[in-house]
Amino acid sequence: MRLTLDQLRSLVALAEEGSFTLAAERVYLSQPALSIQIRKLEEALGAKLFDRKKGTLTEAGRVAVAQARRVLEEVERLTLLVRGGGAPFQGPFRLGVIPTLTPYLLPRLLPKLQERYPGLELEIREDLTPNLVQALQEGGLDAGLVGTEENHPGLRTTPLFREAFLAYVSPNHWLYSRESIHPLEIPQEDTWVLSEGHCLRDQVLSVCRPSLTKRRVEFQSGSLETLLFLVEGVGGLTLLPEVALWTLPEAKRAHLRPLTPPGAGRTVYLLLREGSLKTRVAQGVAEEAVRTFQALRLEAQA
């Protein structure tokens, strides 16, 4: 039995929607017709792809979806080649962004992208770096903005901008009296950090002096804003990436201390699948992200 593109499109839609009803609406089929497409595909491949009781893909289904996305992308590439390239800045573009960039960069970046590329249909996913990498490899995303250099087969990493870390210190902490702070003066046991899985957590911990005593309170958070509230209410300090500074009101900026010597910080990267049809779009988004960060830096320094 031969595979068809309609079967592959049905499988990808089912994987992304997680529901036969929603997937059927997406590919303009009735639910029974979609179910037939999936069953025929399973028969052709000789494997169960979707566990209907659990409502999830099987392991074979995840492998099939990843390959189906690549096949459909190549079909789209063939269409564009025959038609002379088409319009690259039209249609859907799926961008993944790490949580420590999303609330600070996107409110300024998205309006600029909508103005510059009015035909682009942006889909934004906020997630941790490992999940974004997996989604890129499987074809669920077109590009990603991350804070670590990722080296994975089939993915290309491009540095966009470098941002410094600044200490956000409680008035009750002994480092508050300093005009600047040496990283090795920052005790880990006094520093509030993000939960496991956030790349910023490891970057911050690598800057601080190793713990000499155990923390009195262990706290797992996925939000930089929560860490600021803890510094203000409980004490201690945290480190903020430069991109977050423009959101701080003037009163809170009194808590900031630069790190001396400078150098502690992170580089933001664009992640992209090699040979992706969305390369030109991703490069345009990356260029706008750099301009947005530069504008935010000037605003924070004003």
pTM of structure? 0.77
pLDDT at 276: 80
Average pLDDT over the chain reads: 88
**d(Cα 15, Cα 7) in Å, to the nearest integer?**
12
User: Beta strands 91-97 and 143-146: pairing type?
Assistant: parallel
Please give the average per-residue pLDDT across 91-101, as a whole number: 92
Q: Which residues contact 100 (CB under 8 A, 6 or more apart)?
A: 147, 194, 198, 199, 200, 224, 241, 244
Residue 288 in contact with residue 113, Cβ under 8 Å? yes
Contact status, residue 137 vs residue 245, Cβ threshold 8 Å: no
Question: Pairing relation of β-strands 120-126 and 256-258?
Answer: unpaired
Q: Check residue 212 and give its pLDDT.
A: 61
Q: What was the pLDDT predicted at 217? A: 67
Percent of the chain with pLDDT over 70: 94
| Domains in the chain, CATH or no CATH each | 5-82 (1.10.10.10), 91-161+266-301 (3.40.190.10), 164-264 (3.40.190.10)
- What whole-number distance in Å separates Cα of residue 160 and Cα of residue 206? 22
pLDDT of residue 226: 92
The tens digit of pLDDT for each residue in 38-81 reads: 999 999 999 999 988 888 889 999 889 888 888 887 787 777 66
DSSP-assigned letter for residue 136: H
pLDDT tens for each residue of 181-223? 998 899 888 899 888 888 888 888 888 877 666 666 677 778 8
Give the orientation angle of helix 59-82 with respect to helix 31-45, to 10 degrees: 100
| Alpha-carbon gap, residue 288 to 109, rounded angstroms | 7
pLDDT tens readout for residues 101-146: 999 999 999 999 999 988 888 999 999 999 999 888 877 889 999 9
Task: Give the pLDDT band (50/70/90) at residue 87.
Answer: low
